[in-house]
Amino acid sequence: MTFQVACQEADVDPADVMQVTLDGVDLAIARDSDGSWHAISDLCTHGNVSLSDGDVEDGGIECWKHGSVFDLRTGKPRQLPAIQPVSVYALKLENGSVWVDVDSPLN
């Protein structure tokens, strides 16, 4: 595993998300309403739009364009029209930084 700094913890509030790119991989770094952190592919598998423009709530992120909701832990869609999961990446917090490994998706 090769972790890289994606952002700082202070950059993302609870129930918020930001887009970052690491090694050519577009990521949505999401902080759920309960404070948990997640790194997933930023591209919706249904409409090819940025998930980081969507809403984060209750362990999911909603695609702003067509309403698909993806589970932040597994990447699986919870709601149509998406049927394919998004990639989920390992994330760790250290000294105020958010680190992500884009080399090996977890799913």
CATH number listed for the domain at residues 3-97:
2.102.10.10
**Is residue 9 classed as helix, strand or coil in its secondary structure?**
helix
- pLDDT value of position 48: 85
Helix (H, G, I), strand (E, B) or coil at 51: helix
Q: Which residue shows structure tokens 């984060």?
A: 56
pLDDT of residue 37: 98
For the chain, domain boundaries? 3-97
Q: Tell which residue, 65, 68, 67, 72, has the closest CA to residue 14.
A: 72
Residue-wise pLDDT for 46-76, tens only, equals 988 999 999 999 999 999 999 999 999 999 9
Q: What is the pLDDT of residues 3-39, one digit of tens each?
A: 999 999 999 999 999 999 999 999 999 999 999 999 9
Put simply, whether the predicted model's pTM sits higher than 0.75 gets the answer yes
* b/e sequence 39-58, b meaning 16+ C-beta within 10 Å: bbbbbbbbbebbbbbbebee
pLDDT at residue number 47: 87
